[in-house]
Amino acid sequence: MGKLLTSLAILGSLWVLASCSSGPGQTTSSTSAQPSGGLTTSGPPVTVNLIAKDLAFDSKTIVVPPGATVTINFTNKDPGIMHNFALYNDSTAKTSIFVGKFVTGPGTAVYTFTAPTRVGDYFFRCDVHPTQMEGTFVVE
Ligand SMILES: [Cu+2]
C-alpha cells in the first residue's frame, strides 16, 4: 500500500515536471499544492456543457485556461444522428488534439482531456458534420 502511494507520488511529480516544461512563456502562477487523495492534473478543472441539436452545437466558442483538465458533458439531441466533439490544432483539422467517441442521439457522453498549454485559438468540430458543426476552442 505504502509502496503504491509512493509510486503514485513519483508519477505525479513526473507529470507535473513534464507539463511545466512545455512551451515558452508559461506563467506558473498557481502552485497547485493540492492535498493528497486527488489526481494530480496539469491545470485547473473546467467543465463545459455542449449540446448538439439540429446539426449544430449550442456553443460556437469554448474558452479554457492553458493546460486545463477539460470535461465536456456532451448531449446529442438529434434522434438517430451521430455526433461527436473533436479538437484540432486549426481548421485544417490535420492535427487532432482530442477526438471524442461518436454518440447517436438521443444520447450523452463525457469527454475528458487536457487542453493545450499554449495560448491561442484552436478548432473544434463534429467529425460527422465537419462543415456544419464547428467552433473555436480558445486557450487563454
Ligand atoms: Cu454531427
**CATH, residue 48:** 2.60.40.420
Q: Which domain holds residue 80?
A: 42-139
Q: Domain for residue 64, yes or no?
A: yes
Residue 125 burial by Cβ neighbours in a 10 Å radius (0-12, 13-18, 19+): buried
Q: From ligand 1's centre to the CA of 46, what distance in Å?
A: 23
User: 6 CA distance to ligand 1 centroid (A)?
Assistant: 44
Query: What is the distance between the alpha carbons of residues 53 and 21, in angstroms, rounded to a whole number?
Result: 40
Q: Distance of CA 103 to CAs 34, 35, 66, 110, Å? A: 34, 36, 27, 10
Q: Would residue 109 count as lying in a domain? A: yes
pLDDT tens column, 48-86: 999 999 999 999 999 999 999 999 999 999 999 999 999
28 assigned to some structural domain: no
Element (H, E) at 131: none
User: Measured in angstroms, how far is the CA atom of residue 81 from the centroid of ligand 1?
Assistant: 7
| Residue 96 maps to a domain | yes
Beta carbons within 8 Å of 98's beta carbon, 6+ residues apart:
85, 86, 87, 111, 113
Residue 70 lies in a domain: yes
The total number of structural domains that make up the chain: 1
User: What was the pLDDT predicted at 13?
Assistant: 45
Would residue 29 count as lying in a domain? no
Measure 82 CA to ligand 1 centroid, in angstroms: 6
CA 68 / ligand 1 centre spacing (Å): 25
Q: What is the pTM of this model?
A: 0.71
Q: Specify if 86 maps to a domain.
A: yes
Residue 124 included in any domain: yes
Identify the segments of the chain with pLDDT beneath 50.
Answer: 1-2, 4-41
Residue 3, pLDDT score: 52
Please tell me the predicted confidence (pLDDT) of residue 114.
Answer: 97
* pLDDT value of position 1: 42
Give the Å distances, CA to CA, from 49 to 13, 39, 59, 68, 71.
31, 22, 9, 15, 8
Q: What is the pLDDT of residue 56?
A: 98
2 C-beta neighbours (distance < 10 Å), count: 6
- Cα 134 to ligand 1 centre (Å): 9
pLDDT of residue 80: 98
Q: How far is the CA of 133 from the centre of ligand 1 (A)?
A: 6
